[in-house]
Amino acid sequence: MKFGILLSEGPYTHQAADSAWQFCQAAIAKGHEIHRVFFYHDGVYNATRLTEPPQDDRHIVNRWSALNAEHKVDLVVCVAAALRRGIKDEVLAPGFRISGLGQLVDSGIKADRMVTFGD
């Protein structure tokens, strides 16, 4: 099955960011495809390379980058939500790209299932 993912909460403050990544890992392990992860609302904070968690904690941003590097998962950050929050191309971690909300609708059209992680 082909999944589209919408993540609408920031990392570390909300379980949604962890759950979305774990869902992607589990789905891929089961042979499913992640069509795209779309980052919206505070979810755009998942994309900043300026993130530096304490060493004994998980690195949520790097985990997303690895998902892109290893499985070619498309990581799209909403431009409007990103600009509001100071997320620009120059602070994007590897594997992320900034694009429009149309990419979320497109994912809804192309995926078999759309799964939302957020409040």
Partner 1 sequence: MKKFMFVNRKAPYGTIYALESLEVVLIAATFDQDVSLVFVDDGVYELTKGQDTKGIGIKNHSKTYRALDGYDVEKLYVERESMEARGLGEDDLIVDVEVLSSTEMAALMAEQDVVLSF
Residue from 20, 47, 78, 104 carrying the catalytic annotation:
78
Q: Determine whether 78 is an active site residue.
A: yes
Candidates 21-29, 56-64, 90-98, 105-113; binding stretch for partner 1 (CB under 8 A) = 105-113
* Amino acid symbol at 103: Q
Matching residue, tokens 């499985």: 71
Bridge partners, residue 39, by sequence:
7, 77
CB of 109 to partner 1, least distance (A): 6
Q: Rounded distance, CA 53 to CA 19, Å?
A: 18
6 close to 117: Cβ distance less than 8 angstroms: yes
Nearer to partner 1, 18 or 106 (CB): 106
Nearer to partner 1, 65 or 79 (CB): 79
Nearer to partner 1, 4 or 11 (CB): 4
Q: Rounded distance, CA 87 to CA 40, Å?
A: 12
Q: Does 114 bind partner 1 (CB under 8 A)?
A: yes
Matching residue, tokens 């990392």: 11
**List of residues contacting partner 1 (CB under 8 A):** 6, 8, 40-41, 80-81, 100-102, 104-106, 108-109, 114, 116, 118-119
